[in-house]
Amino acid sequence: MQVFSRVGLVGIAAVASGVVGPSGAQPSSSAPQSVVAVSDHRPFAVRDGLGRYLALHFLTRTSSPENTDAVREYVREAPTLAGVRHVFIRPDPHEVVSSWSRTIPGSESFVFSDSEGAFARSLNVPTGLSADDTGAALPALVVFGPEGTELFRRVGKADDDRLSFADFATKFTQLTARPAIKDYNLGAGAPALDGYDPVAYFTQNKAVKGKASLPSAYRGVTYRFASDESRDRFVADPERYLPTYGGWCASAMGAKGTKVEIDPTNFKVKDGRLFLFYKSLFGDALKDWNKHEREWEPAADVNWKTLADEGPSKQSK
């Protein structure tokens, strides 16, 4: 049985100040509120995940096949869901966790040690259920939004009762899909930008067709990428590469506030923003934009806000 709870008031401030969390348990004010990375021994706290979605996966003590399979699946599938950092936490000594992670290729940056379970307790994740009264006996998941607010949490009923990556992606997308998506330039079942790589516009200054074998979804919209490197860039910071105005023609949005189709090879990158334009034998909207950019860009921002209730897409810092 899968149990979800959505808690909107438990965030970094609550954890740091010892406020009672969703489980009703009082976090220990003296307990360290960080875990240790197996890759470089650096501490990691919830505040270090600010700016992205953060999924904390609390594993059970022991190198069980269930733990190993869960990490292996998420490491393999993580690039298909952008903007999320996955952190897998085991309540075992650092040396034990580090040795175990080496049996899972590519997992070093995902795996952390919480040897005494203090980090779990600081987030009101159930502990004290195992024989030695320190480690989590059941797998748990806590997901935070970019501002540090808890998005949802889940505690399994058995060691193998955890979300598959596909189920996580479905739940995550349900909670994070942009309300304005209904106004985006998206064909039924088709990728955004007609399958062109959003990162290539910025890094290569040209339109490059993405591959169906390299998808990544962000807040309900699926994009395609021409290379693993390009997709990795997007996964780490998707907001940086999103098109303006939901992917509609910038000129039409600025001049009339209307949604007009685009030619994905007709574009302009300016001040970290990707603008797309209509083009046909009868006209080139990019040429019109270049003549009226000073007045049309702010007008397009206002018109898109009015139309879709979404602020202008700008390059993240």
**Ramachandran area for residue 119 (φ above 0: left; ψ -120 to 50: alpha; else beta):** alpha
Does residue 186 share a domain with residue 164? no
The residue among 130, 159, 176 that closes a domain is 176
84-90 and 53-58 strand pairing: parallel
248 vs 39, residue with greater confidence: 248
Q: Residue 312's pLDDT is what?
A: 81
Query: How confident is the model over 110-126, as pLDDT tens digits?
Result: 999 998 888 998 999 98
Chain segment 234-282, per-residue pLDDT in tens: 999 999 999 999 999 999 999 999 999 999 999 999 999 999 999 999 8
pLDDT reading at 23 higher than 70: no
> Could you tell me the sign of the dihedral formed by the alpha carbons of 147, 151, 155, 159, in that order?
negative
pLDDT at 137: 65
Asked whether residue 204 falls in the same domain as residue 82, the answer is no
Do 49 and 129 reside in the same domain of the chain?
yes
- Shared-domain flag, residues 143 and 194: no
Say if 313 falls within a structural domain. no
Q: Where residue 314 falls among pLDDT bands split at 50, 70, 90?
A: low
* Domain shared by 115 and 184, yes or no: no
Give the pLDDT of residue 62. 74
As given in the structure block, the two tokens for residue 40 are: 């470089």
Q: Does one domain contain both 81 and 94?
A: yes
The verdict on 219 and 162 lying in the same domain is no
Say how far apart CA 231 and CA 200 lie, in whole Å: 10
Same domain, 199 and 236: yes
Q: Does the pLDDT at position 5 exceed 50?
A: no
List the single range of 40-49, 57-66, 270-279 with lowest mean pLDDT: 57-66
Domain range for 274: 179-308
Residues 161, 186: one domain?
no
Of the residues 156, 176, 196, which one is the last residue of a structural domain? 176
> d(Cα 155, Cα 160) in Å, to the nearest integer?
11
Residues 158 and 109 placed together within one structural domain of the fold: yes
Which residues touch 64 (CB under 8 Å, ≥6 apart)? 159
The answer to whether position 314 is within a domain reads no
Rounded Cα gap, residues 234 and 196, in angstroms: 13
Distance CA 174, CA 188 (A): 18
Same domain, 144 and 274: no
Say what the pLDDT of residue 157 is.
Answer: 87
pLDDT score for 40: 87
Lowest-confidence segment of 15-29, 209-223, 292-306 by average pLDDT = 15-29
Tell me the chain's radius of gyration from C-alpha atoms: 22
Q: Chain-wide mean pLDDT for the chain?
A: 87
pLDDT at 14 over 90: no
Q: Residue 107 is part of a domain; what is its CATH number?
A: 3.40.30.10
Domain count, the chain: 2
- 205, 271: one domain: yes
Euclidean distance between CA atoms 197 and 232, whole angstroms: 12
Tokens representing residue 245 in the block: 């105005």
Note the pLDDT of residue 63: 74
